Amino acid sequence: MTQDRRRSHRRGPRRPGHDARGDGVMRPIPTRKTPTNPGCSIECCGRSVYARGWCMKHYQRWNHHGDPLALRPNQKPLIALLLARMEVNPDGCWIVTGRRDNAGYSVVGKPSRRGHRVSYEHFVGPIPEGLHIDHLCHSYSDCPGGDRCPHRPCINPDHLEPVTTQENIRRGLLARQRAAVGAERRSLAAFLVRSEGEVRNAR
């Protein structure tokens, strides 16, 4: 074994590369997005481009199976993973147990995708670009809001609706206002009940 081969053996296997510029020079495969490498064209991938506008993983899937989105034989679709961890509440919400993001939404897959968006795309259709998915089952009357909201993990397609950012904010503000009015009325009613009881005891 020559000295160069011994040194190569000690260093371990070389990192795979590719001829990105077509000049016959094998360069390291980029692993992160750069200004000259905008990223894989597959939605929600986030990896850098390797070939044909795809990252290395999606390019290899296309090369082996003819489809960059082809799944391994033992890999289940995202919707199947969600439904396997789903519980149906009495109010009709399909609550997914398990992993959640910092905002309280259920997430699935790697890279992570929010469960309610996966459910809407599977049962209803593509989400129009620029729209958010609003939970119609959400109510501030029985919900603390924020990441503790019990409705955010819901993936029932009947409880989901795509709306603009402005409409989503407007609905949230309106729900908070209604919740505040309802809480004030309940507090007033409880005060009147207590006052009436005190008057009766005083007699």
Nearest to 75 by CA among 41, 107, 109: 109
pLDDT tens digits, 9-42: 444 444 445 554 556 655 555 445 555 667 788 8
pLDDT tens digits, 81-129: 999 999 999 989 999 988 888 888 999 987 789 999 999 999 999 998 8
Alpha helices in the chain (DSSP H): 3-11, 56-65, 78-84, 115-123, 165-202
The encoded tokens of residue 5 equal 């081969």
The residue count of the chain comes to: 203
Domains of the chain, by residue range, sit at 14-65, 81-202
Q: Give Cα separations from 68 to 38, 43, 52, 63, 71 (angstroms).
A: 18, 12, 10, 8, 9
pLDDT tens digits, 51-76: 888 888 888 888 887 888 877 665 78
